[in-house]
Amino acid sequence: MSEIKRNAIKIGLLGDSTVGKTAICNSFMGVEFSNDNLMTVGQEKLETKFVLDNGKEIKLSIWDTAGQERFKATSFVTLKAAQGVIVVFDVTNRATFQHVDQWLSTIKEELPDPNLFLFGNKVDIEEREVTEEEARSYAKKMNLKYFETSAKSGQGIKEGFKFLVNDTYTKVEGKENHNIKIGEDDDEYEYVTGCFGKKKKVKKNKKQTKS
């Protein structure tokens, strides 16, 4: 049987308004930084091809969501199928860091266990209100991989996305493989196409097996 390749990963960005989610997306996509980025209203999707560390090429969808309270419900509906989520805060604005707890709590309630990451953005600005040590300590406590980023200089953006996409892909692949039972009676099971085109083994409908 030839290998069926997964071909897509969906990543979403969440966080307060003005933390730089759109600028992070633009930086990753190679768009020149601008201080005049318009505030995101609703959601915006970016798509690109991405080559994993194992050499496979996949389609990467990045969803940039609005941070305003009135758009939160819509943002979480959009990200229901996301395999990975980046929560972004602004290291020069302590309130955005304090709100990370709220974002994580809502993610736990609304989304089906995505792979989570934390980006501390705007590290190019000297006047920080959240130190790197404090952010890393919090990320460790919450079991999150943390990256210091600057959409303006590009610091940490490529590195962060490379790690999170590869890590997310590996975990999705592991979950898919875990769902395949080995050594069962093949007469009682059949292979069906699941997430990302992965074949998984499921028990046949009893009515089908008797016919």
Mean pLDDT of 75-86: 82
Tell me the pTM: 0.74
Mean pLDDT of 19-44: 70
Region 8-175: CATH code: 3.40.50.300
Tell me, what's the pLDDT at 196? 44
Specify the 3-state DSSP secondary structure of 127: coil
Tell me, what's the pLDDT at 72? 54
Phi and psi at 57, nearest 5°, equal -100, 130
Collect all residues with Cβ–Cβ distance below 8 Å to 180 and sequence separation of at least 6: 199, 200, 201
pLDDT, the chain, mean: 79
Mean pLDDT of 42-52: 81
Are the C-beta atoms of residues 104 and 27 closer than 8 Å to each other?
Answer: no
Tell me, what's the pLDDT at 167? 95
Q: Give residue limits of the domains in the chain.
A: 8-175, 180-210
Share of the chain above pLDDT 70, in %: 69
